[in-house]
Amino acid sequence: MPMTIALRAMIAAAAIAVPALLAGSSWAASVPTPTITEKPAELSSERTPTFRFNTDDDKLKFKCSVDQENAKDCESPYTTGSLDDGPHTFSVVAVDAADTSDQATYDWTIDATAPQASISSGPPAHSGSRSASFEFGSNESGSTFECALDDGDFSACVSLQAYGGLDDGAHSFKLRAIDLAGNTSDTETYSWTIDAVPPTVTITSGPVTSSSSSASFTFTSADAEATFFCALDGGAFASCTSPQDYAGLVDGAHTFTVEAADAKGKTGAPASYSWTISSIVIAVEDTTPPQVVSALHARVKYRDALLSWRVPADEDFDHVTVWRVTGNGSRWVPVYTGAGTTYDDKSVNNGLDQRYRVVAFDHAGNASPAVLASARASALLLSPNRGARLRVSPSRLSSLSSHPVLIWTQIRGARFYNVQLFKGSRKILSRWPKSSRLSLPVRWTYEKHHYTLSRGGYRWYVWPALGARYGALEGQSSFRVG
């Protein structure tokens, strides 16, 4: 009898221990959380996106929910109903007969509304210029643009878009905006007609009454593409360039005539210069040039460069002439002639280098050496300095206590700015700060690609947002990370 009682006690103890052992074992696992393997972009224009998801256990079932709605049975792939613009959340859980997994969620934003492009300025409806420029914008910040001229194809463009060398006749400029979600606006069209005004020509120097049998003339036109045709004493016009020289001239009155033609062959009114040669006159020719201008300085502002200088003290000083060349161009264009000490250039393109040369002339037409000044494309971009080297070790990038900061000049009236960063020819970052500075991140994602502030050369650009449109480029600059 005692042996029977002991045996029953052992069996009862074993019955209690087995469930306890099972409850503490490693194979009594909970339902695994699903993995979302396919989803829309964080900013998407798709109103009915599709999601794919799975778990390691193919026997489990799923329940899906969008925007906190009641979860319902679903299968992968799962396509939502039509959703409105704005932020959304997708959730999925795995279930078996007895338990439910943790939620797997994904947040994204839908923007399926096309932006509105607008053209804010262009040439007059009836224009006398063969050039045209357009300013434009979009009601959505961060939009990019595509432009087309007449029957040409659309291609990427930025405001201010310029064209030159256009034919007489009707023209049309077309614009469309593409927002960050990839939505494309309706096409905006601007139409105008060109009846080009022929270029004028100005003779800037010539001989005075003298006994010299030689003569030299300089001349220019406001049309940078103009070509010239010269004639002497009523002879036939022939192609010429400035300066135009003549020799072996006889005593008496002479007349030099020059006319300018545009790229399409239209010629404007000719300019003439008359003088007299007399070998009887004995005079000492003044060939001494005046001194150069001094204290030449260029103060750069947004779309404006103010040049100032001091004229030479020569008694026979007459005037100065200021020439300008833009960007990588090689043709110097005169922009000012007079006896003043300042010139305010209100047609500056801050996105390109502007170079100026100032020459002093005396009453005899002798010219001093040129004095140079410049308005750099980076003048309004304050830090880092153009071509600066940021000595940052890539191995320390992840532990930086402060990041490189881009700083530029505050533009009056700017609501915010668009800052774009390129490495080589590839755009790797675009931001829209409200102040005139941007702290560069060490790592970031742009256009679904991951980037790191690594060794190499970088170029950055800044545009101000003025009212409902972007203004002209404030400037561009470069730096290196080493």
pLDDT at 414 over 90: yes
CATH code of the domain covering residue 319: 2.60.40.10
Please list, in sequence order, all residues whose beta carbon lies within 8 angstroms of the beta carbon of residue 401, skipping any fewer than 6 positions away: none
- Tell me the pLDDT tens digit for each residue of 222-244: 888 889 999 999 999 999 999 99
pTM of the model: 0.43
pLDDT band at residue 443, thresholds of 50, 70 and 90?
confident
Q: What is the pLDDT of residue 394?
A: 54
> Does any domain span residue 9?
no
Chosen domain end from 277, 306, 331: 277
Picking from 315, 342, 375, the residue at the C-terminal end of a domain is: 375
Burial category of 258 from C-beta neighbours within 10 Å (exposed 0-12, middle 13-18, buried 19 and up): buried
Structural domain contains residue 399: yes
Confidence of residue 264 (pLDDT cuts 50, 70, 90): confident
In a domain, 14, yes or no: no
Q: Please indicate, yes or no, whether residues 233 and 148 belong to a single structural domain of this protein.
A: no
Task: Report CA-CA distances (Å) from 111 to 40, 88, 118, 162, 261.
Answer: 12, 11, 20, 31, 53
Q: Is the pLDDT of residue 369 over 60?
A: yes
Per-residue model confidence (pLDDT) at position 284: 66
Assigned domain for 269 exists: yes
In this structure, what are the phi and psi dihedrals at residue 376, rounded to the nearest 5 degrees?
-75, 150
Residues 48 and 84 in one domain: yes
Asked whether residue 20 is domain-assigned, the answer is: no
pLDDT at 172 > cutoff 60: yes
Percent of the chain with pLDDT over 70: 90
Categorize the per-residue pLDDT at 20 as very low, low, confident or very high, splitting at 50, 70 and 90.
very low
Instruction: Inform me whether the pLDDT recorded for 306 exceeds 80.
Output: yes
Asked if residue 471 and residue 386 are part of one domain, the reply reads yes
pLDDT at 76 over 90: yes
User: Are 404 and 368 found together in one domain?
Assistant: no
Domains held by the chain: number: 5
Q: Inform me whether the pLDDT recorded for 398 exceeds 60.
A: no
Structure confidence by residue, pLDDT tens digits, 308-349 = 999 999 999 999 999 999 988 889 999 999 999 999 999 899
Say if 371 falls within a structural domain.
yes
Q: Are residues 243 and 212 in the same domain?
A: yes
Tokens matching residue 264:
């399409």
pLDDT tens digits, residue range 79-92?
999 999 999 999 99
Please, which pLDDT band fits residue 19 given cuts at 50, 70 and 90?
Answer: very low
- Predicted confidence at residue 329, as pLDDT, reads 86
Q: Is the pLDDT of residue 413 over 80?
A: yes
Condensed to tens digits (0 to 9), the pLDDT of residues 82-120 reads 999 999 999 999 999 889 999 999 999 999 899 999 999
Are residues 371 and 299 part of one domain? yes
Question: Over the chain, what is the mean pLDDT?
Answer: 88
Task: Give the tens place of pLDDT for each residue, 268-288.
Answer: 899 999 989 887 655 567 889
Residue range of the domain that includes 174: 117-194
Whether residues 90 and 126 fall in one domain? no
Q: What is the pLDDT of residue 12?
A: 43
Query: Predicted confidence band at 198 (pLDDT cuts at 50, 70, 90)?
Result: confident
Domain final position from 211, 244, 277: 277
pLDDT at 326: 92
CA 193 vs CA 127, 128, 164, 353: distances in Å:
6, 9, 14, 32
Distance CA 201, CA 166 (A): 21
pLDDT > 80? residue 38: yes
Same domain for 394 and 463, yes or no, is: yes
| Contact of 217 with 244, CB cutoff 8 Å | yes
What lies within 8 Å, CB to CB, of 63 at 6+ separation is 71, 72, 73, 74, 92, 93, 95, 100
11 within some domain: no
Structure tokens at 10: 């052992």
HSE value, Cβ hemisphere, 13 Å, CA-based, for 433 = 17
Residue 13 has pLDDT above 70, yes or no: no
9 pLDDT higher than 60: no
pLDDT at 25 over 60: no
At 27 the pLDDT is 37
Is the pLDDT at 404 greater than 90, yes or no?
Answer: no
Phi, psi of 235 (to 5 degrees): -75, 180
